[in-house]
Amino acid sequence: MFADKSKIPVPRATPETQHFWDGTLAGELRLQRCDDCSQVYFPPRPFCPVCSSRVVRIFTASGKASLHSYVINQRPHPAFEGPYSIAVVKLEEGPTMMTNIVNVDQTPEALILDMPLEVVFETLTDDIALPYFQPAGGAS
Amino acid sequence: MKSGSIAIVGAAESTDLGKIPHMSQIQLHADAALNTIADAGISIADIDGIATAGESPTAIAHYLGIKPTWVDGTAVGGCSFMLHVRHAAAAINEGLCNTVLITHGESGRSNIGRGGRPGGAATLQGQFENPFCTMGPPTVFTIPFLRYMHETGTTLEQLAMVAVVQREWASKNPRASFQDPVTVDEVMNARMIAYPFTLLECCLVTDGGGALILTSADRAKDFPTKPVYILGTGESVETPMISQMDDLTRSRAFRMSGEKAFAEAGITHAEVDHMMIYDAFAHLPFYGLEDLGFCKRGEAGAFIEERNTAPGGQLPLNTNGGGLSYMHSGMYGMYALQESVRQMRGTAPAQVENAEISVCHGVGGMFAASGTVIMGNVRP
């Protein structure tokens, strides 16, 4: 699927997102939950975007998700061999996030909405690993 | 503005000043905002208007959890915030919103997460969308559609029909970029850009410009043109990241913008003679028709397929051919406004007979923002 991972635009962590990127490097998908209203939210913030409480805590998510929607980009990108999916997945804990679906054929037949997925991390640099998602139970 | 009609009821600075290496720029906005909300003794849900500079107001609204009916991103440098006060005063007096938050935050010394340029690696998009090798709107704006299909039963043939019908309108417009009719098969078999969207379901890329002049309705009689009255307006923003929409199958920004516009205009859907829905991609009209209440949930596909928006239909839509066939330079909204004005003046190439009310609805970014203008040629 990947032709040249050095062509992937590398994120830069900020103080508020550092815990998330420390997590992916350690193989953990970290989310935050508000102590006051229990909302689980993404992307990372040091306060709750629903009730604005500053009492929030980081926890490690299950890494389980379902395929919420996607496109299969046909235009060539130097990071990928051929067409590749750009997807939105829905985490078991509630939030949605963008990703690529890996270890599966990049076709409409293989990418079925609501299919169960699990997170898998790909280290790009000393500081950054990206969270991708693959069919639950491993590669298909 | 009416002197003394508006008051400041919350004011606070960020928790720290000086050297703050532990906060990114957007968090400086948020820190100050949270302190100010506490100062005013309210909650974030009470805020319905947002103005900011240095970060996009869409990003600030998303980050803070604000659902605004008024949005101002006027950015003219350091005095932007004075202009925001002025604009907020006019907005509150006009009933566009009730409680406005104006924010500033700047990592001027530590340079942490300085936004401004969208796509910088430390911005929200730079961290949580760009790394997945997005390649512009055709690969991002289109992502919600498979979910919409899944939940509503809308078909790819119905998506193609949007392009077919708009090409019929374009064929009546001498200035349209593409005027030759197309069939559903031709649209579906055109070059695939980002499955399921083919080339003919993506907007054009062209050059152009447009402008408007407005004045009071009383003064309009001094001008040589047939006045087009603003009956109602709306605006809102949701999020700069498509992955963070509340619901990929509905646009919250569309709904909030449309609701305000209809409430101000005091009209029913049946009274609408003409409509423009900014069609950056072929699925936008589905969202516009449903989120603005012209079609029930999931019924827009059939509505268009059954030619209700085509020449001769009950709700002529995108009568210039739209972004799919007329023109699209990157920000198409001005052209939607121009066609609504022509229809209200009676000068459109594909003129809808006796049209008196037009709804002109636009999207900004990728479902990030929305604005709605309802116009009419009969002064209320």
Of B59, B200, B187, B75, the C-alpha closest to B124 is B59
Helices and strands per DSSP (H, E), number in chain B: 13, 9
Mean pLDDT, rounded, for B344-357: 98
CB B25 within 8 A of CB B113: yes
List the single best residue of B35, B142, B243 to mutate versus A (max A Cβ within 10 A).
B243
Of A64, A31, A113, the C-alpha closest to B144 is A113
Is the Cβ of A50 closer than 8 Å to some Cβ of chain B? yes
Q: Which residue in the block uniquely carries the two structure tokens 């309009």?
A: B220
Percent of chain B with pLDDT strictly greater than 90 = 96
Model's pTM, two decimal places? 0.95
Residues 6+ apart with CB under 8 A from B268: none
The pLDDT tens digits of the residues spanning B148-166 come to 999 999 999 999 999 999 9
Residue B372 Cα, gap to closest chain A Cα (Å): 26
Is the pLDDT assigned to residue B81 strictly greater than 60? yes
For B:217-246, CB contacts with A below 8 A are: 241-245
- Do the chains contact at B243 and A88, CB–CB below 8 Å? yes
pLDDT, averaged across chain B: 96
Return the SS3 of B54: coil
Q: What is the pLDDT of residue B113?
A: 84
Report the residue of chain B nearest A7, measured CA to CA: B133
List the single best residue of A7, A8, A10, A16 to mutate versus B (max B Cβ within 10 A).
A16
CB B253 within 8 A of CB B365: no
ipTM: 0.97
Mean pLDDT, rounded, for B194-198: 98
Of B75, B69, B71, B81, the C-alpha closest to B55 is B75
- Do the chains contact at B130 and A46, CB–CB below 8 Å? no
CB B34 within 8 A of CB A54: yes
CB B178 within 8 A of CB B167: yes
Residue B98 identity: N
Mean pLDDT, rounded, for B295-322: 98
The pLDDT tens digits of the residues spanning B22-31 come to 999 999 999 9
CB B128 within 8 A of CB A16: no
Q: Which residue in the block uniquely carries the two structure tokens 């509905």?
A: B250
Q: Which residue in the block uniquely carries the two structure tokens 């910088």?
A: B120
Is the Cβ of A32 closer than 8 Å to some Cβ of chain B? no
Query: What distance lies between CA A67 and its chain's CA centroid?
Result: 11
Report the residue of chain A nearest B64, measured CA to CA: A49
Is the Cβ of A109 closer than 8 Å to some Cβ of chain B? no
Is the Cβ of B144 closer than 8 Å to some Cβ of chain A? yes
Locate A21 and state its tokens: 């990127």
Nearest to A84 among B43, B133, B142 (CB): B133
Mean pLDDT, rounded, for B238-263: 98
Cα(B251)–Cα(B287) distance, rounded to whole angstroms? 7
- Number of CB pairs, chain A paired with chain B, less than 8 A apart: 150
CA torsion, points B361, B90, B103, A55, in degrees to nearest 10? -80
- Do the chains contact at B131 and A8, CB–CB below 8 Å? yes
| Sign (positive or negative) of CA dihedral A49, A96, B152, B299 | positive
Nearest to B65 among A50, A70, A130 (CB): A50
- Do the chains contact at B21 and A83, CB–CB below 8 Å? no
- Do the chains contact at B24 and A88, CB–CB below 8 Å? no
Report the residue of chain B nearest A52, measured CA to CA: B44
Q: Which residue in the block uniquely carries the two structure tokens 């947002």?
A: B50
Query: What distance lies between CA A19 and its chain's CA centroid?
Result: 14
CB B145 within 8 A of CB A113: no
Nearest to A52 among B43, B121, B140 (CB): B43
List the single best residue of A19, A47, A132 to mutate versus B (max B Cβ within 10 A).
A47
Nearest to A45 among B44, B63, B126 (CB): B63
The pLDDT tens digits of the residues spanning B10-67 come to 999 999 999 999 999 999 999 999 999 999 999 999 999 999 999 999 999 999 999 9
Cα(B60)–Cα(B51) distance, rounded to whole angstroms? 9
Residue A137 Cα, gap to closest chain B Cα (Å): 22
pLDDT band at A139 (very low <50, low <70, confident <90, very high): low
The pLDDT tens digits of the residues spanning A41-86 come to 999 999 999 999 999 999 999 999 999 999 999 999 999 999 999 9
Of A44, A40, A4, the C-alpha closest to A21 is A44
Locate B301 and state its tokens: 């596909």
